[in-house]
Amino acid sequence: MVGRSAIWNGEIEECFYQKALHRIRAFRTDETPRYLLYVIQAACAVGLFVADANANIFHLPAEKLRVLRFPFPPAAEQPAITAHVDRGLAISRGTTATLGKQLERLHEYRQALITAAVTGQLDIGEETAA
């Protein structure tokens, strides 16, 4: 997907990248790289980088990326914005994990119910009058 982004913190000594990957740096050293990450991810999410729907493989040439303009509040505000987004994402990940566990449990209950019905442990005949 065009626009996927990540922060590289020098985890490996030598890192080479190909033409399909863009290396983006903050203009000033006091800017928050994580803020830039979230801006790029948001642009990707709204489809900013998908311009040619007829292409089989989407590309984002450096020339097209250079002309795009993104919102950059003062560097002093970026850590607070980033922290707010981090908190929201943590909540979202927690909710997603909880829902995933609940779905797994419901799948297990469904399987157990099917097994009980097939093996005759569960009477699925006519309802009895109460």
Residues 13 and 63 in one domain: yes
Classify residue 128: in a domain, yes or no.
no
Classify residue 129: in a domain, yes or no.
no
Kindly tell me if the per-residue pLDDT of 94 is higher than 60.
Answer: yes
Classify residue 41: in a domain, yes or no.
yes
Q: Which of 9-18, 84-93, 101-110 has the lowest mean pLDDT?
A: 9-18
Does this model's pTM top 0.75? Answer: no
More confident residue, 50 or 53: 50
Q: Which of 13-22, 71-80, 82-91, 107-116 has the lowest mean pLDDT?
A: 13-22
Residues 87 and 59 in one domain: no
Q: How many separate domains does the chain show? A: 2
69-87 mean pLDDT = 91
Long-range contacts from 41-47, C-beta under 8 angstroms, 24+ separation: 41/3, 41/5, 43/3, 43/68, 43/70, 44/1, 44/2, 44/3, 44/4, 44/5
Burial profile 47-63: b = 16 or more Cβ within 10 angstroms, e = fewer: eebeeeeeeeeeebeee
Instruction: Name residues whose C-beta falls within 8 Å of residue 38's C-beta, 6 or more positions apart in sequence.
Output: 81, 82, 85
Give the domain extent around 28.
1-74
* Block residue for tokens 């590289």: 8
If phi over 0 gives left and psi between -120 and 50 gives alpha, with beta otherwise, what is residue 13?
A: alpha
Residues 58 and 116 in one domain: no
Percent of the chain with pLDDT over 90: 32
Kindly tell me if the per-residue pLDDT of 129 is higher than 60.
Answer: no
